[in-house]
Amino acid sequence: MTHALLGSYCVQSLFGDYDSHEHGVGVQYFSHVNFASQQSQELLEQIAEMHKAHRSVEVVVVIVAAVVAVVAVVVVVAVVVVVVIVAVVVVVE
């Protein structure tokens, strides 16, 4: 859910308000954007549905959401790195 919400804000910031004439039906208009390392079709469909609900979202809100998404990814990567380092240290000892 969080990935989808943050992804929908990213789509909003990149493509503006959803317009069925401009964006069509489905996820083709943003499917080239990577939101997760292993994103599924289900995630893309959730992003598309949430994007349709956004209307003239303030640019500041979109920027804050994008920054929060980046920070969340950095935190997850940092945690994974720490876990790997701890595992290596335990194995070496």
* pTM of the shown model: 0.59
pLDDT at 59: 63
pLDDT at 46: 93
Neighbours of 14 (CB within 10 A): 13
Residue 54 tokens read as 């956004």
Sign of CA dihedral 52, 48, 32, 61: positive
Residue 85 tokens read as 């380092």
Rounded to an integer, the average pLDDT of 9-20 is 87
pLDDT at 57: 58
Tens of pLDDT, residues 30-87: 988 888 888 899 999 999 999 988 876 566 677 777 888 889 889 999 999 999 999 8
